[in-house]
Structure 1
Amino acid sequence: MKHTLSVLVEDEAGVLTRIAGLFARRGFNIESLAVGPAEQSGISRITMVVPGDDHIIEQLTKQLYKLINVLKVQDITEVPCVERELMLLKVNYNSSTTRSEIIELAQIFRARVVDIGDDSLTIEVVGDPGKMVAIVQVLSRFGIREIARTGKIVLVRESGVNTEFLKTQAPVEARF
């Protein structure tokens, strides 16, 4: 199972290296990593997606707390969250028909064309990880030249509404 960890750290040189080293020493892979300033000056938020069972994640959390600059570690895998990623995708095209088709498909995903070359389009996509997989699948038939993708960023929903749970529910019929 993949777990999402949100880690608050002091914004100092070498913190990320120590955290990555901790994972490497224990033979764990970090599938996604995003780091940036948090709400408080001098604090950074690291969001990681890590494969492993609950026991492994519990051990990693304990090890992270032993690092001096780590302030808070949260496994937010089962917590209602807002998740986003950013992806830039360069797609081949060979005629105006293909170009317009790619642009139409991008619009369906609420993606934006951010650059047009002689034989390629660069598209910006923002959304949840599933959206990223879906647009790559749809556009792969045109030939994907390059992909640059950020790691997942996540914030806990204050409303407590779990949109993943809502997606799995059957629609409620109107009763009159």
Structure 2
Amino acid sequence: MDNQPGSITLDPNANVMSYRALMDAAALADRRQQPDTAKRWRTQAQQLKTAWQQANQKGFPSFTNGLWPSGIAVSDTTAMTQVLQQQWDESTEATGTFKQTPPNLQAAIAQAHQWLFLQQPDRVWTTLKWFWQNQASPGLYTWGENPDQSGGMPMPKSFSQWQRLRGWVNPPHIT
């Protein structure tokens, strides 16, 4: 977001979820019968949405949560569809099956959520069928994960040290 005064300069996904949080805060203020507070939260959410849309005119980096759960891209589903279609064309065969294992399994599932909101159930079912057919432990909904997917960023250290109780630090599967 170019370090503009008054704007959040975290990654685009943080801005997307901040928008959702502001909209939820406005809804809560409405329920508490505080219209001025609700209006303030909606105004801030709209400002964030406008800045986010301007910063993302040439691309849509938050395609994994633009419609769900954030709703920030609801007003521009055409752009969302174009970006998702490009991703789909690059990662799948003509039959709809993945050319190779998606590098980020969570992103693939998140894209399926977006396709659902774009009323493209065929894409959702194709993705889900691939996941069901490629389980590391069939029936346990467990998938292997690419250990390099973190993008070179070190994994955060746990403050609670829960991994000592579980007996492992870096699980090989996602459940």
The two structures share one fold, judged by TM-score above 0.5: no
Scaled to the shorter chain, the TM-score interval is under 0.3
Higher helix share: 2
Normalized against structure 2, the TM-score is what?
A: 0.28
Higher relative contact order (CA 8 A, sep 6+): 1
